[in-house]
């Protein structure tokens, strides 16, 4: 498997974990960034936390499935 593909899967898993942790412990600086503030504006603070938790789960799932599918046994 190409090293760059492995790196992409690792980044997906890392960012997904970070997103879940940020939503779970309610990192104020994370939700005050411009990108997250958009979701806070439209979904409310609690809705944005739920959204980022779901997004993190999706990113981790994509990373793990990518490893499973593209890793030769």
Is the pLDDT confidence value at 29 over 80?
yes
CA angle at 61 for the pair 43 and 7, rounded to the nearest 5° = 110
Structural contact between residues 30 and 22, judged by C-beta atoms closer than 8 angstroms: yes
pTM of the predicted model as reported, rounded to 2 decimal places: 0.87
4-26 pLDDT, tens digit per residue, is 888 999 999 999 999 999 999 99
Q: What's the pLDDT at 67?
A: 87
Q: What is the mean pLDDT of the chain?
A: 92
Mean pLDDT across the stretch 43-65? 96
Q: What's the pLDDT at 63?
A: 95
């Amino acid at each position: 498997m190409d090293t760059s593909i492995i790196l992409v899967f690792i980044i997906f898993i890392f960012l997904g974990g970070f997103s879940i942790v940020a939503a779970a412990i309610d990192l104020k600086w994370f939700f005050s960034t411009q990108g997250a503030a958009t979701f806070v504006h439209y979904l409310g603070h609690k809705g944005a936390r739920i959204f980022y938790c779901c997004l993190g789960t999706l990113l981790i799932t994509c990373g793990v499935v990518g490893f499973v599918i593209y890793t030769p046994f």
